[in-house]
Structure 1
């Protein structure tokens, strides 16, 4: 499965890089780039469509393609609740929080805290805290997920992939400012949706539609006997027994209050406040909304992004479930040693569900498109 990209796929990826870099260098020519507002908020000149696309792809990183699909393969539709919840919270951001930030004339969230409460200590504390937490909680996960996809498709070293992606993203972002970021976001949003929808359609066709997916997923368990016969050095571990068969409620989005993975009280009462922080006060999200021409465009951008957030359930989570149907013997390990042999990790192999499906289902050329989609998701984050 590893390193089977064709020349046509490599050319598609190379073409993507050329277009993205061209957009970044064109953005350097924008006169407003030489001002703080022009560099940091794109001159507050962006329309709702550009900002909405940027909001969507800045949130949907490579960790979504790896994590959501992996969770779909492991436990079904439940993880889609996170994405559908964001649809509502985006409106809270656009209609309640964004007008306050825009009227206050701030550029960053730490700056708003300083204006709201006075002094410098709170502003500096929040800025430093953000700079520490981003690499530890989000950027590191994005980099690992993107590099994992590259390793699955090209066979490159994990750390080499990470270094190259960081360098290219820095070149684009630092030279072009937010104008370059949002312009490339629009391209990347179109690319991401097109590629993911293509994979979804091909997968649905081959598995027999939604009905076929539901029926076959509930039967997608690894063939323990065949695995042990093919690798006599492996042993079956009881600790993996809980994950061998799909859960009875795998096709439900909201699970019961005692569900070990995603109980609905924990989801609604625990995850929602954390998501309010992300969608309504996070610098990555709000910086894009603050780049809108006016409040009407800011509100329109959150409506558009909200509609786009319906897509991940269909184009990421469900393909992950379909991947389990075809690769149950590889994604559902029977022991830590089996996991290590299949994907190089003792903790499980569902993280490779999406890359495996791409390499197996997509024809030559479209695999390169999906590779570009993953790189786009990573660069955007």
Structure 2
């Protein structure tokens, strides 16, 4: 089968270049002409967000180019089983709304490391800073570069290493030219455009395949099962039921990028309603991102690489020019994510480690220099990690994403669940779970993915994530029980006795969402 590159026309590449030049132009305007006004207004959204903004922001942060490419890939090979990662999420978004959000807002914190600092002290906050850098480097930088490398490789017919370098060079060019400010300011527009493109892809693809009933009948029956039998090679039901919650707690309840908008809510009620709105929006993920992959399986069943499913649909079903627009928006959104991750990495190291621990009397010039060095080192490390991820065999893009995130999640899930739910949890226990837990989790992931990937005794990677979580939770509990300082330390923790309760409207909307989601699970498991 011909590759993606062969279906692109000169007009597509012209559209990409023109789009990126316009973004750089807007960035220049924002940087120099509107600088004073935008700098003043950029950070004034604190505690002013309503439920609509919160819901759209959380969903938009979760939905990106990597999601489009990866979801279509897994839809092509296995059907809607990957819908669990969208629909099962409502449980953990609910947990954020009724358990975590009241405590975060009660503590009056802007960041989650700050919350952990108030809960356990500065040493825990320091360890969390290192953990945060590792997660940024792996989950936001390397995985985004990997997805971007696949996309650029498909567009330009290049090997992964060259594709990744091209992407980093584009990101660096945007930074120097001031175009990244434009990407940031047009993110909402670009996200809406990507969602509209996916909706059009779904509608056009379904029509071309003969309608909804034809799509339903043209694939194996198990393509429409959310929960698959235990002998299923891709996603057995027990792996999802036990393994996804570890990732779900980490991602939806403790990841700064996801929780940030709830922390900026006008009130607890608005934060809880916003989280509920996110749960409703997540229902759309299957139709927008997974169904195009299933339709691609029907229309183009001889794809050699399932990761090409999304761009195959774009290049075959869209006219020349529109394909270029889709490519341009995907690249711009990827560049935005890469730059944001590099900026976050630099900020965490410079402000939480360098200034607080290494050189407390650092001048502004030294801080800027260190920030630039960290950005450069982070980019190089991310490229090396991306090439390492590319060497993983036997998994498609979606599986790699979930496996890598599954090995990052356990320490944070343990620390936050214990720290929030059990008053007796001590600093010693929290620090152990974060430091030792990170070594165990990532060490197991390296052995699983790189050292012995073909060992037949391995359980599913989601079950491995669950087992690591259980081991860390038991060890954390043991440390608390035997820690002689537990009683004295527990007197100094954040007080959570007079927390505001969700009001009637919040409960009604959450009960409705729970009923709908249970209905989906019953409907999509009768095949």
Map 1:1-381 onto structure 2 (within 5 A).
1-3=3-5, 4-10=7-13, 12-14=15-17, 16-17=19-20, 18=22, 22=26, 26=30, 29=35, 33=39, 39=43, 42-117=45-120, 119-155=121-157, 157-167=162-172, 181=184, 183-218=185-220, 249-331=222-304, 349-375=305-331, 377-379=333-335, 381=337
> Is the partner of 2:227 in helix, strand or coil?
coil
Alpha-carbon distance between aligned partners in 2 of 1:44 and 1:169, rounded to the nearest angstrom:
31
Separation in 2 of the partners of 1:307 and 1:169? 35
Q: Distance in 2 between matches of 1:175 and 1:291?
A: 24
Separation (CA, whole Å) in 2 of partners of 1:313 and 1:173: 36
Work out whether residues 60 and 377 of structure 1, in 8 Å CA contact, stay in contact via their aligned partners in 2.
no
> Quick check: 1:25–1:175 contact (8 Å CA) kept in 2?
no
Bigger RCO (CA 8 Å, 6+ sep): 1
**Quick check: 2:190–2:333 contact (8 Å CA) kept in 1?**
yes
Q: How many residues align structurally?
A: 328
Q: TM-score, normalised by structure 1?
A: 0.75
Contact 1:56–1:189 (CA under 8 A) maintained in structure 2: no
Kept after mapping to 2: 8 A contact 1:207/1:213: yes
Any idea what SS the aligned residue of 1:262 has?
A: coil
**Residue 334 of structure 1 aligns with which residue?**
none
Q: How far is the alpha carbon of 1:9 from its aligned partner?
A: 3.5
CA drift at 1:292: 3.3
Distance 1:372 1:88, change over 3 A: farther
CA deviation digits over 1:72-126, x for unaligned, max 9? 1111211111111123422332343223222322221111101112x21110111
**Residues 130-188 of structure 1, C-alpha deviations (whole Å, 9 max, x = no match):** 11122223421211212322332344641343214533675799975xx984x534223
Q: Which has the larger radius of gyration?
A: 2
TM-score by length of 2: 0.56
Residues 48 and 301 of structure 1 are in contact (CA less than 8 Å); yes or no, is this contact kept in structure 2?
A: yes
